[in-house]
């Protein structure tokens, strides 16, 4: 099946979540499965669907430095998304295009990320259920949801993240750290710039090739209907305190 590719672009956190949902609805009505690459502008923290925003995020610090906070439709943990520090992808398509098993579907899509990193000369490994590691350190986190027959998986590839800034915005418990038997969170995270002088565009092109090699695709953009629906969803859901503080 042919894919629609939406090239690398920047968007705010609320619109980003709304676009994923609007595109999911569009695909449920028969549109092409879609892969898009994007950056968070301004920088933001996203939390998993089942999390408590006040338990996970230093809201005062986020407000102080102008970092948005949004709840995702996907599960998983709280993540800081820096405009200059990462590329994010979204894969959206009918569930029947992917393995039924959660593990196997993560492995398939994360494999595309791993292929992209290999194009940069970086050997990465899939770490079930939803992480990608380089040299034993996390370079990519991924999250997935399946609703109304549509699979959405989005994930981040760390490029040049300020790790100390990231953890100043998140509330990370000592218990969680010790559970992974590490002495600090910084010890388990790595970035692309640790492995070479890649530009953001180099990274995007390598990932694009990793995702699309051997696949039929066309470059496209959001339809006007998707843009209108995303605007509606952003204002009616993702910007609302009722959504972001629901737990």
pLDDT at 171: 86
Q: How many CB atoms lie within 10 A of CB 179?
A: 9
Average pLDDT over residues 183-208: 89
pLDDT at 181: 36
Domain spanning 3-244, CATH architecture:
2-Layer Sandwich (3.30)
Q: How confident is the prediction for the chain on average, in pLDDT?
A: 93
pLDDT at 232: 99
> What is the rounded CA–CA span in Å between residue 77 and residue 50?
9
Reduced to 3 states (helix: H, G, I; strand: E, B; else coil), residue 134 is: strand
* Range in 67-71, 76-80, 153-157, 242-246 the model is least confident about: 76-80
Average pLDDT over residues 52-65: 95
> What is the rounded CA–CA span in Å between residue 101 and residue 103?
5
pLDDT tens, residue by residue, 134-174: 999 999 999 999 999 999 999 999 998 887 788 789 887 65
Q: Confidence band (pLDDT; 50, 70, 90) for 182? A: very low
Does the pLDDT at position 237 exceed 60? yes
* Range in 26-30, 37-41, 72-76 the model is least confident about: 72-76
Share of the chain above pLDDT 70, in %: 94
Enter the tokens of residue 224.
Answer: 């006007």
pLDDT at 173: 61
> What is the rounded CA–CA span in Å between residue 103 and residue 25?
24
> What is the rounded CA–CA span in Å between residue 136 and residue 210?
21
Q: Confidence band (pLDDT; 50, 70, 90) for 177? A: very low
**Burial 202-225, CB ≥16 within 10 A → b, else e:** ebbbbbbebbbeeeebeeeebeee
**Burial 136-157, CB ≥16 within 10 A → b, else e:** eeebbbbbbbeeeebbbbbbbb
pLDDT at 134: 98
pTM over 0.85: yes
The sheet that has 44-47: what strands, in order across it?
Answer: 68-71, 44-47, 79-81
Burial class of residue 34, CB neighbours in 10 A (0-12, 13-18, 19+): buried
Average pLDDT over residues 88-94: 98
Reduced to 3 states (helix: H, G, I; strand: E, B; else coil), residue 146 is: strand
* Pairing status of strand 131-134 against strand 137-147: antiparallel
Does the pLDDT at position 179 exceed 70? no
Please say whether the beta carbons of 198 and 117 come within 8 A. no
Average pLDDT over residues 41-61: 95
How many residues are given for the chain? Answer: 247
pLDDT tens, residue by residue, 1-18: 899 999 999 999 999 999
């Amino acid at each position: 099946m042919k894919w629609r590719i939406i090239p690398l672009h920047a968007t705010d956190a609320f619109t980003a979540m709304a676009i994923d949902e609007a595109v999911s609805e569009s695909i449920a009505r028969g549109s092409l499965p879609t892969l898009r690459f994007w950056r968070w502008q301004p920088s933001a923290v996203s939390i998993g669907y089942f999390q408590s925003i006040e338990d996970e995020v230093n809201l005062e610090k986020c407000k102080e430095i102008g970092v948005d906070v949004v709840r995702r439709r996907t599960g998983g943990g709280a993540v800081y998304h820096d405009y200059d520090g990462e590329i994010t992808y979204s894969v959206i398509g009918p569930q029947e295009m992917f393995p039924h098993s959660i593990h196997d579907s993560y492995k398939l899509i994360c494999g595309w990320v791993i292929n992209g990193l290999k194009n940069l000369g970086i050997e990465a490994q899939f770490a079930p259920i939803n992480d990608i590691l380089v040299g034993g350190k996390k370079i990519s986190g991924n999250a997935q949801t399946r609703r109304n027959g549509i699979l959405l998986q989005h994930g981040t590839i760390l490029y040049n993240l300020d790790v100390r800034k990231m953890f100043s915005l998140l509330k990370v418990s000592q218990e969680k750290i010790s559970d992974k038997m590490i002495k600090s969170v910084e010890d388990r995270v790595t970035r692309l710039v640790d492995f070479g002088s890649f530009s953001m565009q180099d990274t995007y092109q390598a990932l694009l090739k990793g995702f699309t090699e051997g696949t039929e695709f066309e470059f496209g953009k959001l339809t006007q209907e998707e843009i209108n629906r995303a605007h509606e969803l952003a204002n009616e859901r993702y910007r609302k305190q009722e959504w972001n503080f629901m737990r």
